[in-house]
């Protein structure tokens, strides 16, 4: 049996962690490998995979049914794709959720605490104008660990910076989940999410610095935009509230426009007053009618601090 878990362009370390958690939970005990930084491929013999076994993973009940991983909560039992998405979210949240300084969960192992210390120290160095750049020796000194310890967690400084980017995106995802509570339909979800994302770079220039000026590849942020948008567009298409002729092109145009606007807001070329106009343009890209664009783009919305 072969199961593919799409991790929506998560970083290599999170997919490694996801693999470890699958094996630790005894969900399956086969071999695994990482494909293109986006997919975990897990091979298991039929005897190793126990169909319909219910297991507890990070506080959520999951079960394996035939060759499909299916979430046993909510609306996740509609099929393989939904189940895989649900499991990937669980695995990711287990390791990364609320690991940012100031938004921290209880950490239970020394390994977790050491990794947290490294990532917090790295954020501090990236935000420190007097640091004069960042190096592994600087990082381990600030974190209070040995240089060898750093390489137990990350292959390179670039990998550690990438992990910081993932933390930022996951914290932003947590906030977006609050922002869209009570949204009328998928278009409203997209509008609220867009405005919160745009306002983030007006209210939190430190996030902009980490995202756009720390050496983090812009693909990390772009991948986060795409992952959120794709799910919302698929919901809209399924409900009939959105009609598109070319989903990949729409996704590309929307993501590129959002990225450019966020950078311009961060760099001061646009200010927060431009958010409704940008949101309106984003809604037009996904084919929303003029009256609904006007209503949603100009609806009052407070920024939720992350």
- Residue ranges of the chain assigned to CATH 1.10.10.60: 101-154
- Bridge-based pairing of strands 31-35 and 39-43 is antiparallel
Residues of the chain with CATH 1.10.357.10: 167-297
pLDDT for res 39? 33
Rounded Cα gap, residues 197 and 228, in angstroms: 11
Quick one: fold of 167-297? Answer: Tetracycline Repressor; domain 2 (1.10.357)
Determine which of 61-70, 136-145, 200-209, 212-221 has the lowest per-residue pLDDT on average: 61-70
Rounded CA separation 189/299 (Å): 12
Over residues 221-257, the pLDDT tens digits come to 898 899 889 999 999 999 999 999 999 999 999 999 9
- For 166-193, b/e burial (b = at least 16 CB within 10 A) is bbbbbbbbebbeebbeebebbbbbbbbb
Q: Are 251 and 226 in contact (CB under 8 A)?
A: yes
pLDDT in tens, 65-94: 322 332 222 323 323 333 333 333 333 333
User: Is a pLDDT exceeding 60 seen at residue 213?
Assistant: yes
- 103 touches 37 (CB < 8 A): no
Q: What is the mean pLDDT of the chain?
A: 72
Q: From CA 292, how far away is CA 191, in angstroms rounded? A: 10
Say which CATH superfamily domain 101-154 falls into.
Homeodomain-like (1.10.10.60)
Name which of 32-36, 110-114, 125-129, 263-267 the model is least confident about.
32-36
- Give percent of the chain with pLDDT exceeding 70: 65
Q: Note the pLDDT of residue 130.
A: 75
Q: Where are the alpha helices (DSSP H) in 26-156?
A: 80-96, 110-127, 136-143, 147-150
Give the Cβ contact number of residue 51 at 10 Å: 12
Answer yes or no: are the C-beta atoms of 101 and 206 closer than 8 Å. Answer: no
Q: How far is CA 169 from the centre of its chain?
A: 5
> CA nearest 280: which of 260, 298, 300?
298
Task: Tell me the Ramachandran region of residue 104: left when phi exceeds 0, alpha when psi lies from -120 to 50, beta otherwise.
Answer: beta
**Residue 102 vs residues 36, 123, 248, 306: alpha-carbon distances, Å:** 32, 12, 37, 9
């Amino acid at each position: 049996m072969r199961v593919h878990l799409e991790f929506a362009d998560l970083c290599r370390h999170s997919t490694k962690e996801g693999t470890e958690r699958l094996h630790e939970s005894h969900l399956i005990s086969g071999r695994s490998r990482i494909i293109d930084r986006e997919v975990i491929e897990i091979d298991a013999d039929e005897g190793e995979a126990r169909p319909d076994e219910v297991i507890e993973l990070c506080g959520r009940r999951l079960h394996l049914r035939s060759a499909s991983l299916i979430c046993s909560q909510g609306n996740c039992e509609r099929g393989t794709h939904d189940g895989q998405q649900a499991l990937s979210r669980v695995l990711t949240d287990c390791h990364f959720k609320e690991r940012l300084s100031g938004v921290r969960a209880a950490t239970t192992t020394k390994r977790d605490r050491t990794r947290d210390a490294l990532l917090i120290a790295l954020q501090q160095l990236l935000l420190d104008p007097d640091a004069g750049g960042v190096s592994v020796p600087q990082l381990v000194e600030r974190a209070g660990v040995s240089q060898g310890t750093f390489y137990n967690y990350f292959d390179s400084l670039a990998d550690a910076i990438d992990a910081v980017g993932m933390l930022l995106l996951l914290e932003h995802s947590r906030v977006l989940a609050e922002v869209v509570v009570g949204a009328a339909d998928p278009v409203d979800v997209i509008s609220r999410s867009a405005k919160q994302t745009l306002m983030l770079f007006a209210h939190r220039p430190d996030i902009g610095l980490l995202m756009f000026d720390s050496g983090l590849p812009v693909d990390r942020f772009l991948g986060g935009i795409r992952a959120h948008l794709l799910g919302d567009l698929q919901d809209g298409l399924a409900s009939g509230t959105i009609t598109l002729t070319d989903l990949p092109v729409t996704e590309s145009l929307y993501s590129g426009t959002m990225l450019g606007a966020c950078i311009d807001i961060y760099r001061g070329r646009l200010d927060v007053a431009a958010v409704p106009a940008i949101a309106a343009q984003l809604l037009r890209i996904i084919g929303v009618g003029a009256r609904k664009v006007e209503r949603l783009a100009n609806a009052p919305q407070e920024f939720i601090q992350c």
